[in-house]
Amino acid sequence: MSNNPNTSMPLKQVLECLKGAANLPFDQAVPVPAALNHSRAFLQHESEKIFTQEWICVCREDEVSKSGDFITHEIAEVPVIVVCQKNGKVSAFVNACAHRFACLVPREKGSAKKFTCRYHGWTYDNAGQLIGAPNMEMKSGFDKSQHRLRPLQLDIWEGFVYVSLAEKPSTRLNDVLAPFQESVVGRYDMAGYQTLIRETMVWNANWKNLIENFTESYHVPVAHGKTFAQHNKPLEDYICGEDSHYYGYHRAPQPLETGPGAAHPNNHRLKGEWRRMMIDFCIYPCHLVTLMPDYLWYITVQPAGTDQMRATWGVAFPPEVLEDIAPDRLESWLEEFKGYIDVANDEDKILVEALHSGSRSPILPTGTYHPIERNLWQFNNYLAKKCCG
Ligand code: FES
Ligand SMILES: [Fe+2]
């Protein structure tokens, strides 16, 4: 057993550190206490207070838009399946058979008219109803209608599908995200973007290290020489958004009115400076998006222990951008685009893993934030609200 206080710190002490950090005003704020990303006790606590309560992004609605389309995910060790029913409605279930709970659908995505359990052949329709149970007529009184997949709460915001493990989630996304939707992202029509790339990666870091990394652009000029730094946005142009317990964002305009990062001439939704505006945001706790006039890149992050995380990401494009790509060029165009994001991910992976390995040290200086790292302090405040109450 490790004697490292960051790993073995009792929960009460971790929460005191978190509260202390969150109580400081931003101009005096310091980075998140190291124990938060290493403590085994806090890992369990955040699972109970955050991942079993909050809305967790699973995919985009257009990834499950046809009857039978499904995507599987995991939230706080609950295997989840999101599936489009015959009537076009997207529903979520626990991905475990109602007989003796074998994982029902092992694939990450696909399309199926029905789901048959590999174990004893129980079969479910896309609404989670049991429609076949071999030889169960041998059990007197067995009633198929009493055995169905366990449904989960599902919500959709701006084309993203979220699932909550809570029986009665405490918020509705369209309510709590309304200010952000109305004043910032609504003008882009994200729901109209078409999702064409989906990948999953595993990094050796705490899930919060990726949230930290994604929600500050201070590192971009130093670390993203092969990708995002090529836009040459001066740090002075970045604006951090208002404080909120539901989301955090910062934004900056690309210098050029045309080319990558700018709106296509046929984009009539965006006006003025918004035609070249990049927005990086996080819908708390773990849904990250870089929103551009010509594409969006989203990530949903899951903890896999204190020192490992799993990140599923996707890229979607607005219709006017795709209309310009000849069908026979689409595959190679997408491959090239994916290559760009792969390089950016490689640039970030070293940093995110370095954040985790460096902060493992029981002896550290105090640290501080750059003014455009306000989103990190906002996230710490969110964590304190959810975990210290
Ligand atoms: S566990 Fe699925 S049919 Fe038995
Ligand atoms: Fe980055």
Helices 11-23 and 374-387, interaxial angle, to 10°?
140
User: pLDDT-based confidence at 330, cuts 50/70/90?
Assistant: very high
SS3 label, residue 40:
helix
Cβ atoms of residues 56 and 300 within 8 Å: yes
- Atom 3 in ligand 1: which residue has the minimum CA distance? 120
SS3 label, residue 106:
coil
User: pLDDT-based confidence at 1, cuts 50/70/90?
Assistant: low
Mean pLDDT score, 335-364: 96
Mean pLDDT score, 57-65: 98
User: pLDDT-based confidence at 231, cuts 50/70/90?
Assistant: confident
Mean pLDDT score, 108-136: 98
Three-state secondary structure string covering 211-273: HHHHCCCCCHHHHCCCCHHHHCCCHHHCEECCCCCCEEEEEEECCCCCCCCCCCCCCCCCCHH
Say whether pLDDT at 2 is over 80.
no
Q: 54-63, 224-233, 310-319: which has the minimum mean pLDDT? A: 224-233
120 CB within 6 A, ligand 1: yes
% pLDDT > 90, the chain: 94
Mean pLDDT score, 212-229: 94
pLDDT digits (tens, 9 = 90+) for 289-317: 999 999 999 999 999 999 999 999 999 99
Mean pLDDT score, 185-207: 98
310 CB within 6 A, ligand 1: no
The pTM (predicted TM-score) of the whole model is: 0.97
Residue 350: per-residue pLDDT: 97
pLDDT digits (tens, 9 = 90+) for 88-102: 999 999 999 999 999
Instruction: Tell which atom from ligand 1 comes closest to the C-alpha of 121.
Output: 3
Mean pLDDT score, 107-115: 97
Q: Which ligand sits nearest to residue 149's alpha carbon?
A: 1
Largest CA distance in the chain: 73
Residue 32: per-residue pLDDT: 85
pLDDT digits (tens, 9 = 90+) for 366-388: 999 999 999 999 999 999 999 99
- Atom 4 in ligand 1: which residue has the minimum CA distance? 120
Which of 95, 114, 116, 119 best tests ligand 1's pocket when mutated (most atoms within 8 Å of CB)?
A: 119
Question: Distance between CA 36 and CA 327 in Å, rounded?
Answer: 48
User: pLDDT-based confidence at 389, cuts 50/70/90?
Assistant: confident
102 CB within 6 A, ligand 1: yes
Residue 3: per-residue pLDDT: 81
Structure tokens at 384: 């304190």
Total count of residues recorded for the chain: 389
Which of 104, 120, 142, 148 best tests ligand 1's pocket when mutated (most atoms within 8 Å of CB)?
A: 120
Taking the centre of ligand 2 as the mean of its atom positions, its distance from the CA of residue 154, in whole angstroms, is 30
Q: Which helix (H) or strand (E) holds 19?
A: helix 11-23
86 CB within 6 A, ligand 1: no
Taking the centre of ligand 2 as the mean of its atom positions, its distance from the CA of residue 214, in whole angstroms, is 6
Instruction: Tell which atom from ligand 1 comes closest to the C-alpha of 117.
Output: 2
Instruction: Tell which atom from ligand 1 comes closest to the C-alpha of 100.
Output: 1
> What's the one-letter identity of residue 30?
V
Tell me how many degrees the CA angle 70-74-78 measures, rounded to the nearest 5: 110
Domains of the chain: 5-31+178-387 (3.90.380.10), 56-164 (2.102.10.10)
- Mean pLDDT, all residues of the chain: 96
Taking the centre of ligand 2 as the mean of its atom positions, its distance from the CA of residue 85, in whole angstroms, is 37
Question: Distance between CA 241 and CA 177 in Å, rounded?
Answer: 13
103 CB within 6 A, ligand 1: no
pLDDT digits (tens, 9 = 90+) for 133-169: 999 999 999 999 999 999 999 999 999 999 999 999 9
Mean pLDDT score, 21-41: 93
